[in-house]
Amino acid sequence: MLPRVFLLTGFVHHAYTLSIPRLPSLATFAASSRVQQQQPLQDTLDAWIKHEERIALDKLLANVAPGGSNVQGKGVAEGTVIASPSQDGPDYWFQWVRDAAITMDTLVNIYADDPSSSRASSLSIILDAYTSLQGDIQRTSNPSGTFDDLSGLGEPKFQVDGKPFTGSWGRPQRDGPALRALTLMHYLREYNASHPSLWSSPDSEDFFGSFYTAEMPPRSIIKADLEYVSHFWNQSGFDLWEEVEGLHFFTLMVSARSLKEGSHLARTFGDFGAADWYQKQAGYIENLLGKFWNAQKGQLVETLWSKRSGLDCGLLLGSLHALPKSQSEDDVVYPPWSDEILVSLLALTRDQRDRFPINSNPSDQDDDDDNVDEFTFQGTGLGRYPEDVYDGYGNSNRGGNPWFLCTSSAAEILYRTASHISATGNLTVTDVGLPFYESLLGSSSLDVDVGTFGPTDALFHSVIERLQSTGDEFLQVVKTHVDAEGSMSEQFDRVTGYMRGAQHLTWSYGAFLQAARARKISVH
C-alpha cells in the first residue's frame, strides 16, 4: 500500500471555475477607431466560441477510439488518437505519440472540470484505454529501437492498430515521451483528486503501479518515459514538424517540464535517487535553453545552429505545453508571458502578415497614417515558420499556408499573458519586451516605456484589455476560415482562405479548445 500523504502533498489539485462573461468594455481604452469599430463583433464572437467549443470537442472525439465516429469499425486500437481521418493526399491515418499526448491532455482538462459528470466518466474510459495502449506501444520494437534500451520510445508514429510504422520517416523524435509523461502525470493527479480513497485502498498499487513504480529497468509507463527523457535529451532528433534534425526549443521545453514534474512524482513514490537525477537533468536542459535566445535577432530560435530564421510556431507551442498544469513553486523557463516569447510572437506575426495575402487588411490601405499598420500588433493567420513550403498536400514553390493550430495558439499566449498580469497585479516592461508592448498599444495614445506598472496605472489596464482583444482577433481569424459546420482542417489557403490539407485535424480542434479555455480564465 502506498503512503497517501506523499501524493496529496506532491500533487496539489487545482481547478478553475469557468464561465464566459462579456469582455470588459473598451470605452475607456484609448485605441484607434478601427479597433473600437470591431467591438460590436465581440458578442458574435462570444456566441460563436461557445458554439464552436461543442463542435470542436465532438469532432476531436470523433478521431479517438473507443467511440469515435471516424474510427469505429475500422481496425483502430482502443486508446488511439488518429491525427486526421484523411487517408489519401495527405495520409494522416496514424497515431503520432506527440499529437495523441497533447490531445489527451486537453481531455484531462475537461475531465477535471467536473469529475463526477457523465462526460467525465466517458472521458475516463478513453483515458484509461490510452494509458493501456501507450504501455503496449512503448514495448513495441520499431525502426527507432527497442524497449530494452528505451531507444524505441523515440519512435514518432504508429499504425492505427498499434503496430509499428516501418516506412522512411524523420526519426527519432524526442518530444513524444516527455509529452506522454506530462499527460499521464496530469491525469494521475486529477484522478487521484477525484478518487481520494483509492490511494489508501487495497487496489492502489494495481492502479498507480501501472503509471509509476521505482523499479529498474523501468516497467511502468511514466517511469520509462522519464528515464528516456533524462538519458536522451542531449542527443539530436527531429523537430515537431518532422523536417529538421538537431536540438529544438519545443522538445527541450517539454523535456525540462516533464523531468521537473517527474522529480516530484518520483519523490511521491519514494524513488528519491531518481527524483534527484530528474531534477538535475532538468537544470541542465534549462541552462541549454538559454542559448535559444538570439539577442542579435531579438527573438528566440526553434533550432540551434539552423540555417532558418528561427521564427517558428513551435516557440509558442513549446511555451504553452511546458507550462505547469497546477500552481507550482518551480520557476518556468520562457512562460507565455515572458518577454522572449512575446517578442518572438510579434516577429512571427509581422512576418506572416506580410507573407500571406489573406492576412492583408483593406482598411490598412485606406488609413492616412501609414505607421499604424507598421506598429500595431493585430490578429493574423499564422503558419508554422517563414521558410515553410508544405501546402497541405506536398511541397509548393508558392510556399506554405496559415495553420489553425498556430493561429489558436497565438490567442492562447495572449490570454494567458493577460491572466498572469491580472493575477499578479504586476506589469513589468523591460528593454527586451518593450517592442512588443509598443506594438500592442501602437494605436493607443498612451506612451509605453520601461518600468513596472500596477492596477493604479492606466497602462496596466490598457495592456490587459488589448491582450484580450488581440487574442480575440486571432480567434476571429479562425472563425473566418472554418466552414459552415465548424470543421477545421490543417491549414487555410494563403490567398483564398479556404481550408487545405488533412481534414478534421485533431490538433486543430484541440488548440482551439485550449485557447477558448484560456480565454474564459482571462476574461473572468
Q: What is the DSSP string of 207-273?
A: HHHHH----SS--SHHHHHHHHHHHHTTS-EE-TTS--EE-BHHHHHHHHHHHHHHHHHHHHTT-HH
User: pTM for this one?
Assistant: 0.89
- 242 catalytically annotated: yes
Provide the mean pLDDT of the chain.
90
277 lies in the same domain as 391: no
Residue 334 maps to a domain: yes
Residue 519: domain span: 296-362+372-523
Q: Would you tell me how many other CB atoms lie within 10 Å of the CB of residue 60?
A: 25
Domain boundary among 263, 291, 319: 291
What's the rounded Cα separation, in Å, for the pair 134 and 132? Answer: 5
305 lies in the same domain as 261: no
Residue 86: per-residue pLDDT:
98
Q: Stretch 501-514: mean pLDDT, rounded?
A: 99
Helix (H, G, I), strand (E, B) or coil at 451: strand
Residue 200: per-residue pLDDT:
80
How confident is the model over 215-274, as pLDDT tens digits? 999 999 999 999 999 999 999 999 999 999 999 999 999 999 999 999 999 999 999 999
What CATH number has the domain bearing residue 275? 1.50.10.10
How many domains is the chain partitioned into structurally? 2
Q: Stretch 106-127: mean pLDDT, rounded?
A: 96
What's the rounded Cα separation, in Å, for the pair 358 and 375? Answer: 19
Domain boundary among 291, 323, 353: 291
| DSSP single-letter state for residue 202 | T
444 lies in the same domain as 517: yes
Q: Which of 105, 227, 239, 340 is catalytic?
A: 239
| DSSP single-letter state for residue 319 | H
381 lies in the same domain as 483: yes
Residue 161 maps to a domain: yes
Residue 56 maps to a domain: no
107 lies in the same domain as 224: yes
493 lies in the same domain as 507: yes
How confident is the model over 34-61, as pLDDT tens digits? 332 333 444 599 999 999 999 999 999 9
| DSSP single-letter state for residue 198 | G
153 lies in the same domain as 209: yes
| DSSP single-letter state for residue 28 | T
Residue 69 maps to a domain: no
Residue 7: per-residue pLDDT:
36
What's the rounded Cα separation, in Å, for the pair 376 and 369? Answer: 12
304 lies in the same domain as 157: no
Residue 43 maps to a domain: no
286 lies in the same domain as 305: no
239 lies in the same domain as 334: no
462 lies in the same domain as 314: yes
Residue 20 maps to a domain: no
Helix axes 204-211 and 118-138, enclosed angle (nearest 10): 60
Residue 54 maps to a domain: no
Q: Stretch 468-475: mean pLDDT, rounded?
A: 98
Which residue reads 491580472 in cell numbers?
Answer: 422
Q: Which of 46, 242, 364, 387 is catalytic?
A: 242
217 lies in the same domain as 350: no
pLDDT confidence tier of residue 409, bands split at 50, 70 and 90: very high
- 88 catalytically annotated: no
Residue 72 has pLDDT above 50, yes or no: yes
Domain boundary among 258, 291, 324: 291
Residue 59 maps to a domain: no
Dihedral of CA 517/519/520/524: which sign? positive
| DSSP single-letter state for residue 511 | H
